[in-house]
Structure 1
Amino acid sequence: MAAAATLSVVILQPRLTLFATTLRPFSIIRHLSSSSLASDTPRAGRSGSVSAPPVDYKQKKIDVNPPKGTRDFPPEEMRLRNWLFNNFKEVSLLFGFEEVDYPVLETEALYIRKAGEEIRDQLYCFEDRGNRRVALRPELTPSLARLVIQKGKSVPIPIKWFAIGQCWRYERMTRGRRREHYQWNMDIIGVPDVTGEAELISSIVTFFKRIGITAKDVGFKISSRKLSDSNSEFANVSKLVPFLSLQVLQEVLSLYSVPEASFAKACIIIDKMGKIPMEEIKKELQAVELSNEAIEDLLQVLSMKSLTELEEKLGSAGEAVSELKQLFSLAEKFGYSEWIQFDASVVRGLAYYTGIVFEGFDREGKLRAICGGGRYDRLLSTFGGDDIPACGFGFGDAVIVELLKERQLLPELPLEIENVVCSLDPDLQGAAATVATILRGKGQCVDLVLENKPLKWVFKRAARINARRLILVGSAEWQRGMVSVKILSTGEQSEVNVDELE
Structure 2
Amino acid sequence: MVPLSSSLHILQPRLDLYMKPLLSPRKLLFCRTFCSIASAPSPTENGGGGGRSGALVPAPEMERIDVNPPKGTRDFPPEEMRLRNWLFGHFREVSRLFGFEEVDFPVLESEALFIRKAGEEIRDQLYCFEDRGNRRVALRPELTPSLARLVIQKGKSAPLPLKWFAVGQCWRYERMTRGRRREHYQWNMDIIGVPEVTAEAELISSIVTFFKRIGITSSDVGFKVSSRKVLQEVLRCYSVPDELFGKVCIIIDKIEKLPTDVIKKDLKSAGIAEEAVQELLQLLTVKSLTKLEEKLGHAGEAVTDLKQLFWLAEKFGYSEWIQFDASVVRGLAYYTGIVFEGFDREGKLRAICGGGRYDRLLSTFGGDDIPACGFGFGDAVIVELLKEKGLLPDLGLEVHDIVCALDHDLLGPAATVATILREKGQSVDLVLESKSLKWVFKRAARINARRLILVGNTEWQKGMVGVKILSSGEQFEIKLNEL
Shorter-chain TM range is 0.7 to 0.9
Residue 367 (1) aligns with residue 367 (2): no
Percent identity of the aligned residues?
80
- The yes-or-no answer on 1:85 pairing with 2:92 is no
Structure 1 residue 108 and structure 2 residue 90: aligned?
no
What secondary structure, in the 3-state scheme, does the structure 1 residue paired with 2:219 have? Answer: coil
Letter in 2 for 1:431: P
Which of the numbers 196, 199, 208 marks the counterpart of 1:196?
A: 199
1:254 aligns with none
- 1:122 aligned partner, one-letter code: Q
Question: Residue 239 of structure 1 corresponds to which residue in structure 2?
Answer: 246
Matches of 2:70 and 2:101, distance apart in 1: 33
CA contact (8 A) 2:459 2:466 kept: yes
Which shows bigger deviation, 387-396 or 297-306?
297-306
SS in 1 for 2:240: helix
What is the CA–CA distance in structure 2 between the aligned matches of 1:68 and 1:385, rounded to whole Å? 37
Corresponding position of 1:454:
436
Q: Which letter maps to 2:458?
A: A
- Check the 8 A contact 1:224/1:355 in 2, yes or no: yes
* Structure 2 CA distance for partners of 1:158 and 1:277, relative to 1, 3 Å: same
Question: In the alignment, is the contact (CA less than 8 A) between 2:224 and 2:323 conserved in 1?
Answer: yes
Match of 1:398 in 2: 380
Q: 1:490 to 1:270 in 2, by over 3 A?
A: closer
**Structure 1 residue 280 displacement after superposition:** 4.4
* CA contact 1:97–1:161 (8 Å) conserved in 2: yes
Q: SS in structure 2 opposite 1:354? A: coil
Q: 1:440 to 1:283 in 2, by over 3 A?
A: closer
Q: Which structure's relative contact order is higher, taking Cα pairs within 8 Å and 6+ residues apart?
A: 2
Measured in 2, the distance between the counterparts of 1:373 and 1:286 equals: 27
Aligned to 1:429: 411
1:94 to 97, 122, 130: 97
Closer, same or farther: CA 286–359 of 1 in aligned 2, 3 Å: closer
Report if the CA contact (8 A) 2:253-2:331 is conserved: no
Partner Cα distance (2:252, 2:330) in 1: 13
State the one-letter code of the partner of 1:62. I
CA distance in 2, matches of 1:198, 1:115: 26
Q: Is contact 1:229–1:235 with CA below 8 Å preserved after alignment?
A: no
Paired residues, number: 418
For 1:239, what is the secondary structure of its paired residue?
helix
Name 1:387's counterpart in structure 2: 369
Residues 325, 498 of structure 1: CA spacing in aligned structure 2 closer, same or farther, 3 A cutoff? same
Q: Does 1:466 find its partner at 2:448?
A: yes
Q: Residues 286, 106 of structure 1: CA spacing in aligned structure 2 closer, same or farther, 3 A cutoff?
A: closer
| CA–CA distance in structure 2, aligned partners of residues 478 and 455 of structure 1 | 18
Q: Does 1:62 align with 2:65?
A: yes
Q: Distance in 2 between matches of 1:289 and 1:391?
A: 32
The question of whether the paired residues in 2 share the 8 Å contact of 1:225 and 1:357 is answered with: yes
Q: 2:375 & 2:132 partners in 1: Cα distance?
A: 34
Which residue pairs with 1:34 in the alignment?
A: none
1:339 and 2:321 matched: yes
The one-letter code of the counterpart of 1:425 is: D
Tell me the amino acid that sits aligned with residue 451 of structure 2.
R
| Number of the residue aligned with 1:350 | 332
Look up the match of 1:41.
none
Q: TM-score, length-normalised on structure 2?
A: 0.83
CA contact 1:124–1:170 (8 Å) conserved in 2:
yes
What do residues 311-350 of structure 1 show as CA deviations (whole Å, max 9, x unaligned)? 0111111111110110011000000010001111112111
Query: Separation in 2 of the partners of 1:202 and 1:271?
Result: 24
Give the conservation status (yes or no) of the 8 Å contact 1:470–1:486.
yes
Change in Cα spacing, 1:350 to 1:117, as seen in structure 2 (3 Å) is: farther
Aligned residue identity for 2:135:
R
CA contact (8 A) 1:117 1:350 kept: no
1:233 Cα deviation (Å)? 1.9
- Cα pair distance change 1:412/1:496, threshold 3 Å: same
Q: Residues 149 and 72 of structure 1: is their aligned pair in 2 closer, same or farther, counting only changes over 3 Å?
A: same
Return the letter of the residue paired with 2:470. Answer: L
Cα distance in 1 for partners of 2:325, 2:464 equals: 70
Structure 1 residue 120: Cα displacement: 3.6
Q: Distance in 1 between matches of 2:228 and 2:277?
A: 22
Which protein has the larger Cα radius of gyration, Structure 1 or Structure 2? 2
Output one character per residue of 1:40-69: Cα deviation in whole Å (capped at 9) or x when no partner: xxxxxxxxxxxxxxxxx9954310000000
> Could you list the runs of 5+ residues in structure 2 that have no partner in the other structure?
1-59
Q: Which residue of structure 2 aligns with residue 307 of structure 1?
A: 289
User: What residue is the counterpart of 1:23 in the other structure?
Assistant: none
Is 2:477 aligned against 1:495?
yes
Name the SS of the counterpart of 2:185 in structure 1.
strand
Which AA in structure 2 matches 1:328? Answer: F
Q: What SS is found at the alignment partner of 1:200?
A: helix
CA contact (8 A) 1:228 1:235 kept: no
SS of residue paired to 2:247: coil
- Matched to 2:99, the amino acid is G
Query: Which residue of structure 1 lines up, in the alignment, with residue 57 of structure 2?
Result: none
CA apart distance, 1:302: 1.5
Letter in 1 for 2:454: L
What amino acid is aligned across from residue 373 of structure 1 in structure 2? G
Q: CA deviation at 1:236?
A: 2.5
Code of the residue aligned with 2:168 in structure 1: it is: G
Letter in 1 for 2:224: K
Q: Give matches, 1:439-450, under 5 Å.
A: 439-450=421-432
Is residue 2:178 matched to residue 1:175? yes
Please say if residues 252 and 329 of structure 2, whose CA atoms lie closer than 8 Å, have aligned partners that are also in contact.
no
Equivalent pair of 1:485/1:494 in contact (CA under 8 Å) = yes
Task: Give the SS at the match of 2:415.
Answer: helix
List aligned pairs for 1:113-262, cutoff 5 A.
113-116=116-119, 119-226=122-229, 227=232, 231=236, 233-242=240-249
CA distance in 2, matches of 1:285, 1:142: 27
